[in-house]
Structure 1
Amino acid sequence: MIYLSIPTVHILKTKWNEKEINNQIPKGFTNDASQLNLTKIDTIIQVPNNKKEIEIQLKNVLKYAKENNLKISIAGAKHSMGGHTIYPNGILLNMLPHKEMKLDTKNNILTIGSGALWEDALLYLDKKGKSIAIMQAFSSFSIGGSISVNGHGWQKDSPPISSSVISFTLMKENGVIINCSRQENSELFQLVLGGYGLFGVILDIKLKVVENEALQYKYIRLNPENYVNYYKKYISENPNVNLVFGRLRISDKHFLEEATLNFFEKVDVNIPTLQIEKSTETQRLVFRGSVDNEYGKRLRWDLETGMNKVSKNEIYSRNELLNDHVSLIENKDPSSTDLLQEYFIPERNFNKFITDMKPILQNSKIDLLNITIRGVHQDNDSYLNYARENVFGFVLLFNQKKTDKQEVEMKKLTNKLVEVALKNEGTYYLPYRLHIDKDKMRKSYPNADVFFQLKLKYDPDELFNNKFYQYYK
């Protein structure tokens, strides 16, 4: 007779209960990562993979849209969640085929098409001993999309992605292509970084790249009250740390009372080869087994902290660590969706924010799956700036049922969390569900009104448009 351990049974049960969901979107419609924005559109236009052909095609599309009074939205991998890539009955530009890239090895600058995914860039750079300077946690996002939301990464004490952008070319609403940098068309440069596709079509981007390095894994278990002090001591004051993230315990038992600080130090050894294929199914099932399941949440925490002991001092390449795919946490339940929220809190209010959000999360009917913490340094480049000083980003992942009742609950929860963030001199991140009213949005982003005025300066007919703009303008 075969005896299976309780954790094994739990993981197998999670697998057995899953259904292969049909994510096929009906013809004439589009959606985004939220799976809650199914919208009828006029046309989806996939750009060609030839740079010259792209420019000709896009100019024709702009002309056609103006002649037919249609709006244009721009999409990459569509990981935003509030309709930022969607305009009802409009034209949707699919930029994913535009992924040409070229490396300037002398100046460490990568020129890359906006439709390329980060994983495309990593695989290309790995062969040349280089790595991306700043990028988000998953490599399955498009580079143009990441710039349009001005994402932040887990690179030690780094500003958002905007700081690694040297320049980009932009096709304006009149079809003219211009170069934008800190020196040339600098106002547009700031507006497009975190501008949600409202000022034109990003074509080619020049990014800083860094050396690919061998990194050794370290971690510390700690009380969240000590997180800031430990971060300063073990991360900021350690010149060898390259990548870092924190995590809070979210099981009912010891809820937000335990944390881990996970970091990777440079070591002088041979760099492991980047593996294209990774086996992640067990890891995914452990994660999915925590949905609406207290045992699963405790098991995941115990397994992750236990694996930390096993994998402590293990060596990885920087590119290997950056090349994680969103499939690591893929949700195959057709009745629910996973939704992100992010809050950026100054160091001085770190502990108070955790204290204030704790009862809100405990009393919510929405299932919390994860809280990751990242240090984000001040951003001096983007106009809609969420890191106006050095902050800690709290990245919250929820599982929400696709029901009207849960949608109402999520809206209530989000508003309470934004109020707590504002109370603690922080802000929230804009690429997610449109649950925050104009007043709170403008309290979080005091220059929002001027941002929307400048939108009309550069695009007076509001040709580039989306649900985010319609909601907040």
Structure 2
Amino acid sequence: MKKKYLLILGALSVIALIFLSIPVVHVFKTKWSESDFQKTEIPKGYTNDASQLNLTKVDTIIQVPKNKIEIENQLRQILKYAKEKNLKVSLAGAQHSMGGHSIYPNGILLNMLPYKQMELDEKNNILTIGSGALWEDAIKFLDKHGKSISVMQAFSSFSVGGSMSVNGHGWQKNLPPISSSVVSFTLMNHNGEILNCSRAENPELFKLAIGGYGLFGIILDVKLKVVDNLALQFKYVRLNSENYVQYYKKFISDNPNVNLVFGRLRISNKHFLEEATINYFEKVNEKPLSLPAQNLKNEETKRLVFRSTVNSEYGKRLRWDLETGMNKISKNTVFSRNELLNDHVSLIENKDPNSTDLLQEYFIPERNFNQFIKDIKPILKNSELDLLNITIRAVNKDEDSYLNYAKENVFGFVFLFNQNKTTQQEQAMKILTNKLVDITIINEGTFYLPYRLHIDKAKMRKAYPQANSFFELKRKYDPQEIFENKFYLHYK
């Protein structure tokens, strides 16, 4: 009897080990498959962006100097040369826009990344920073002074000038986009003149260049508001998505201690869009620790869990279960604000050369939050494209940029899709995008403009009725249309 019992117990142990190992095997199958992939190199004389779908031949790629005097002199010479040779100029940072916004065919591409000097006015909490700097550069610099970025996007691997040009928004609690944190900036116009732009000086150019996709000149030095670095404690709520707005008001809007917050919708077929989490970070009375060293092993594990969801219902359920399970374990863990902001886009990096990950974003007023989810559900379920993630962030009304997407307080739904690099899938993405934009417009919302150029001019103007005057003002401030890109070619 004892022997039989031990045999049963042993068999059960083996079964348990097998089931426990299934998630590990599934995740590391992704790693094993990636070992067969070879990175695609960009040919000389060409450029591309984060979409990997905009390989374009350009006339020249110029890396700008680091020094302020040198960059100003060089840029003036480049603009003069461009006019003489009838060439267009486009501006590039980290190139995370996905529709050729940093590219013009056979034009001059200015790589602004080297221009990243920084200086902090601690008395007034203002950071002066070169537009080519990445947010991670700013975070590391400010961390030494006990300060933090006021408003920035979810990943720190974007450039300051790029984020300004798309007027990105962050996951800071109930704040407007980045525009609200910009005090002023210098802009080199088509004649090589340097103009100071603020709410008081050249205010129209200030509004146009923020969210202006590099069409009004070259942003050089930016003055940004900064805030104190804080110790923040992690909290989360798991809920039915139809109760999201109600719970958001209770746990976030009515809670003065919340500093950072984002939501997540469940995307597995099981309970598709029916469950959500609100993940938030509350101020605690502790001294924030300095930025920790990068934990490459931990970051690679997170990346593999995320990548294992591609074309896998099991992977999507596993990720949801792991994240919600880790939320319980991590609840009440204290982080520094800078540590939370310093996430790199490599955390979700796609290493498959045959596919790409594409973002879309839709901004919906609170009153239509539930209806929007209800409307997109059948569209997403019936699409052949692979949905990897939906994050939700609240964005307050933008009073500063001309081409504003947050015309009132809205919730931003950030979609991430995986798409094969085929004509068939590109067409499928175009059809899907148009359906989602149609639903967005019906729900009195807007769509974000830095992504694939799948929407026509007429429909774009339904979401952005100010577009005609925006492009007229572009030609007023740049009459020879020196600054151009694929975004301008498509929508003007």
Q: What's the TM-score bracket when you normalise by the shorter of the two chains?
A: over 0.9
Q: Provide the residue aligned with 1:87 in structure 2.
A: 104
Q: Is the 8 A contact 2:402 2:470 kept in 1?
A: yes
Q: Provide the residue aligned with 2:130 in structure 1.
A: 113
Tell me whether 330-339 or 17-26 shows the greater mean CA deviation: 17-26
Deviation at 1:277, TM superposition (A): 1.2
Q: Provide the residue aligned with 1:367 in structure 2.
A: 386
2:148 is the counterpart of 1:131? yes
2:21 is the counterpart of 1:5? yes
Deviation at 1:34, TM superposition (A): 0.1
Counterpart-to-counterpart distance in 1, 2:292 and 2:460: 42
Tell me whether 278-287 or 387-396 shows the greater mean CA deviation: 278-287
Superposed CA deviations along residues 428-452 of structure 1, whole A, max 9, x for unmatched, are 0000000001111000000000000
Q: Provide the residue aligned with 1:150 in structure 2.
A: 167
2:477 is the counterpart of 1:458? yes
Counterpart-to-counterpart distance in 2, 1:276 and 1:411: 41
1:167 to 184, 208, 212: 184
Counterpart-to-counterpart distance in 2, 1:282 and 1:45: 37
Q: Provide the residue aligned with 2:310 in structure 1.
A: 291
SS of match in other structure, 2:364: strand
Deviation at 1:267, TM superposition (A): 0.3
Structure 2 gaps of 5+ residues are 1-13
Counterpart-to-counterpart distance in 2, 1:180 and 1:20: 46
Q: Is the 8 A contact 2:153 2:169 kept in 1?
A: yes
2:350 is the counterpart of 1:323? no
Deviation at 1:275, TM superposition (A): 1.8
Counterpart-to-counterpart distance in 1, 2:400 and 2:424: 40
Tell me whether 227-236 or 3-12 shows the greater mean CA deviation: 3-12
Counterpart-to-counterpart distance in 2, 1:202 and 1:266: 34
Q: Provide the residue aligned with 2:8 in structure 1.
A: none
Deviation at 1:23, TM superposition (A): 3.7
Q: Is the 8 A contact 2:39 2:351 kept in 1?
A: no
SS of match in other structure, 1:17: helix
Q: Provide the residue aligned with 1:449 in structure 2.
A: 468
1:176 to 171, 190, 193: 193
Task: Report the AA paired with residue 24 of structure 1.
Answer: E
Counterpart-to-counterpart distance in 1, 2:463 and 2:295: 39
Task: Report the AA paired with residue 286 of structure 1.
Answer: V
Q: Is the 8 A contact 2:48 2:54 kept in 1?
A: yes
SS of match in other structure, 1:451: helix
Counterpart-to-counterpart distance in 1, 2:118 and 2:162: 16
Superposed CA deviations along residues 106-165 of structure 1, whole A, max 9, x for unmatched, are 000000000000000000000000000000000000000000000000000000000000
Q: Is the 8 A contact 2:49 2:96 kept in 1?
A: yes
1:234 to 225, 244, 251: 251
The correspondence of residues 213-362 of structure 1 with structure 2, limited to 5 A, is: 213-279=230-296, 280-362=299-381
Show structure 1 runs of 4+ deviating over 4 A: 1-4
Counterpart-to-counterpart distance in 1, 2:243 and 2:80: 58
% identical equivalent positions: 74
**CA RMSD between the two structures:** 0.9
Counterpart-to-counterpart distance in 2, 1:436 and 1:216: 41
Deviation at 1:276, TM superposition (A): 3.9
SS of match in other structure, 1:5: helix
Counterpart-to-counterpart distance in 1, 2:39 and 2:60: 22
Deviation at 1:24, TM superposition (A): 2.0
Superposed CA deviations along residues 212-263 of structure 1, whole A, max 9, x for unmatched, are 0000000000001110011111101100000000000000111001000000
SS of match in other structure, 2:450: coil
Normalised by the length of structure 2, the TM-score is 0.95
2:73 to 56, 60, 64: 56
Deviation at 1:22, TM superposition (A): 1.7
The correspondence of residues 395-410 of structure 1 with structure 2, limited to 5 A, is: 395-410=414-429
Counterpart-to-counterpart distance in 2, 1:418 and 1:310: 38
Counterpart-to-counterpart distance in 1, 2:39 and 2:75: 32
Counterpart-to-counterpart distance in 1, 2:40 and 2:189: 33
Normalised by the length of structure 1, the TM-score is 0.99
Q: Provide the residue aligned with 2:4 in structure 1.
A: none
Q: Provide the residue aligned with 1:439 in structure 2.
A: 458
Counterpart-to-counterpart distance in 2, 1:29 and 1:459: 26
SS of match in other structure, 2:113: coil
Larger radius of gyration: 2
Q: How many residues align?
A: 473
Q: Provide the residue aligned with 1:381 in structure 2.
A: 400
Counterpart-to-counterpart distance in 1, 2:173 and 2:434: 30
2:88 is the counterpart of 1:96? no
Counterpart-to-counterpart distance in 1, 2:114 and 2:292: 23
Counterpart-to-counterpart distance in 1, 2:295 and 2:468: 45
Tell me whether 12-21 or 82-91 shows the greater mean CA deviation: 12-21
Counterpart-to-counterpart distance in 2, 1:68 and 1:7: 59
SS of match in other structure, 2:282: strand
Deviation at 1:12, TM superposition (A): 1.3
Counterpart-to-counterpart distance in 2, 1:190 and 1:216: 36
Q: Provide the residue aligned with 1:70 in structure 2.
A: 87
Deviation at 1:20, TM superposition (A): 4.3
The correspondence of residues 186-205 of structure 1 with structure 2, limited to 5 A, is: 186-205=203-222
SS of match in other structure, 1:60: helix
